[in-house]
């Protein structure tokens, strides 16, 4: 309830965030009829009452379960109880289900997730299904129509670039995993690049801006993974950047492509509705990037009506929230170490 209140008071709800989702450990057991029981100490009013409170604030409510017989924290999973659990969730007013993959016991992933998908659909209540099997079975190839989003990697870590033996990945590592999956993303079926680490203290402000900018470019679901009850102003400003969020939520629903790879310097492009385009200059280097970009010389081809050579476009900086030039002259600026320049091009009428 405190998180729900903070979603409103922080401006996150007004910025477009919709769901409050409880992760693992809310469930403790099943009753004699097999019904899932929530922790009576942590949730004394029960899940239906909690969902009602969330809904009263203009938000939606989500829960966690697992396709195995036990969750990742050894709480009761949904295997064998899929339709029963789905009916319970619908009765409680659940709008979103994160469905994990621990203790899968050798199941076929596509079949396991389709079973829960069918169970949720049978309730008659629209419930978002988040496929969370960490990209192990290429869910982007079969998830459309089963789930609404699918994780493409193991868990994210609060670092700019890192790979852990057990599978944890940093921001750049996830971006690289997602780069070639753009064909699978679109309205209603998204590549889930994992939660946002912004505000958790492991990265610099520039790195957190890069994290947020690239998730928006990748049309990734945006889920805050910090404690929003006590975030500082820098964190709040990043998470509620409506200009960047508009790129993420663009109705065209296309994922950005890395159309220019110069090693430590990259340029990403994301076609937007109304013939516009978002461009992100990504500096992976430890040193600043002295950018001098000739829009005319470097031909851009997108699946849109945009033509840099034939028309002049305004260049709008999505972090400065102001126009910084036109495409009929070079773009000259400094992109900080591990930082980005994220702009939106629109026709200069």
User: Any idea which residues carry the catalytic annotation?
Assistant: 100, 155
d(CA 253, CA 237) in angstroms, rounded, equals 24
Give the HSE-up count for residue 289: Cα atoms under 13 Å, Cβ half-sphere.
22
Could you give the 3-state DSSP secondary structure of residue 63? strand
Tokens 């170490």 correspond to 337
Alpha-helical (H) ranges within the chain are 2-9, 12-15, 47-56, 82-92, 109-122, 171-178, 205-217, 233-239, 242-248
Tokens 């050579």 correspond to 309
d(CA 273, CA 248) in angstroms, rounded, equals 12
The per-residue b/e assignment along 126-139, b for 16 or more CB within 10 angstroms, e otherwise, is: ebbbbbbbbbebeb
Q: Quick check: 257 and 266 in contact, CB under 8 A?
A: no
Query: Residue 50's CB: how many other CB atoms inside 10 A?
Result: 22
Helices and strands in the chain, H and E counts:
9, 16
Q: What is the CA radius of gyration of the chain?
A: 21
Residue 149 token pair: 């989003």
107, 110, 114, 117 alpha-carbon torsion, rounded to 10°: 100
- Spacing of C-alpha 130 from chain mean position: 11
d(CA 219, CA 153) in angstroms, rounded, equals 16
- Spacing of C-alpha 290 from chain mean position: 30
Strands 331-335 and 289-293: antiparallel
Residue 259 token pair: 């159309």
Q: Which residues contact 30 (CB under 8 A, 6 or more apart)?
A: 36, 37, 76, 81
């Amino acid at each position: 309830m405190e998180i729900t209140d903070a979603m409103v008071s922080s401006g996150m709800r007004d910025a477009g965030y919709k769901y409050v989702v409880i992760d693992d450990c809310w469930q403790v057991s099943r009753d004699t009829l097999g019904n899932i029981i929530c922790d009576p100490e942590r949730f004394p009013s029960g899940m239906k009452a909690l969902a009602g409170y969330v809904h009263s604030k203009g938000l939606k409510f989500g829960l966690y379960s697992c396709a195995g017989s036990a969750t990742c924290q050894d709480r009761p999973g949904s295997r064998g109880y899929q339709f029963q659990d789905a009916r319970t969730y619908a009765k409680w007013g659940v709008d979103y289900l994160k469905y994990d993959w621990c203790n899968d016991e050798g199941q076929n992933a596509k079949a396991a997730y389709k079973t829960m998908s069918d169970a949720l659909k049978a309730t008659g209540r629209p419930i978002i299904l988040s496929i969370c099997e960490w990209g192990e079975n290429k869910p982007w190839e079969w998830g459309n129509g089963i789930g609404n989003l699918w994780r493409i990697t193991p868990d994210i870590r609060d670092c700019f670039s890192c790979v852990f033996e057990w599978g944890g990945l940093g921001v750049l590592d996830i971006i690289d995993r997602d780069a070639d999956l753009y064909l699978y993303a679109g309205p209603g079926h998204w590549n889930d690049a994992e939660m946002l680490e912004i505000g958790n203290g492991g990265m610099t402000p520039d790195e957190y801006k890069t994290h947020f900018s690239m998730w928006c470019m990748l049309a990734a679901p945006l889920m805050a993974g910090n404690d929003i009850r006590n975030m500082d102003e820098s964190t709040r400003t990043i998470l509620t950047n409506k200009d960047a969020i508009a790129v993420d939520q663009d109705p065209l629903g296309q994922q950005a492509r890395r159309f220019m790879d110069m090693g430590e310097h990259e340029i990403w492009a994301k076609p937007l509705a109304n013939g516009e385009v978002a461009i992100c200059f990504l500096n992976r280097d430890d040193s600043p990037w002295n950018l001098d970009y000739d829009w005319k010389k470097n031909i851009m081809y997108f699946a849109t009506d945009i033509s840099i050579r034939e028309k002049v476009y305004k260049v709008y900086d999505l972090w400065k929230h102001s126009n910084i030039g036109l495409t009929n002259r070079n773009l000259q600026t400094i992109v900080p170490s591990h930082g980005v320049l994220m702009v939106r091009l629109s026709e200069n009428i």
